[in-house]
């Protein structure tokens, strides 16, 4: 994702940012999420505390129910390990 320019907005005595909707959707963030803000080397880093693979179990279960969980590539290797390679 390319860097996005946004402006600080006034919220009472503080300042805030608005995260564009497409970024929220891209990162699968919702209202319930907490964000961690970290200042590192004069950069403001915002990251989610949401586990990276949240809801994968539901997605895999749904794939199995749809019979969409078959291997795309045969996992058997056709290599003769006695040959020099």
User: Domain limits of the chain?
Assistant: 9-65
Question: Confidence class of residue 15 from pLDDT cuts 50, 70 and 90?
Answer: very high
Q: How confident is the model at residue 85 (pLDDT cuts 50, 70, 90)?
A: low
First to last CA, the chain: 39
pTM over 0.75: no
What share of the chain has pLDDT > 70, as a percent? 84
Distance CA 79, CA 85 (A): 10
Give 61-83 pLDDT, tens digit per residue.
898 999 888 877 776 766 666 66
User: Domain 9-65 carries which CATH code?
Assistant: 2.10.260.10
At 14 the pLDDT is 95
Q: Are 35 and 27 contacting, i.e. CB atoms less than 8 angstroms apart?
A: no
Give pLDDT, residue 32: 73
């Amino acid at each position: 994702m390319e860097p996005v320019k946004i402006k600080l907005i006034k919220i009472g005595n503080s300042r805030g940012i608005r995260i564009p909707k497409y970024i929220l959707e891209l990162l699968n963030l919702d209202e319930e999420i907490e964000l961690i803000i970290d200042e590192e080397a004069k950069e403001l880093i915002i990251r989610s505390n949401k586990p990276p693979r949240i809801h994968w179990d539901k997605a895999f279960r749904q794939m199995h129910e749809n019979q969409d969980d078959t291997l795309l590539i045969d996992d058997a290797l056709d290599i003769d390990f006695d040959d020099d390679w």
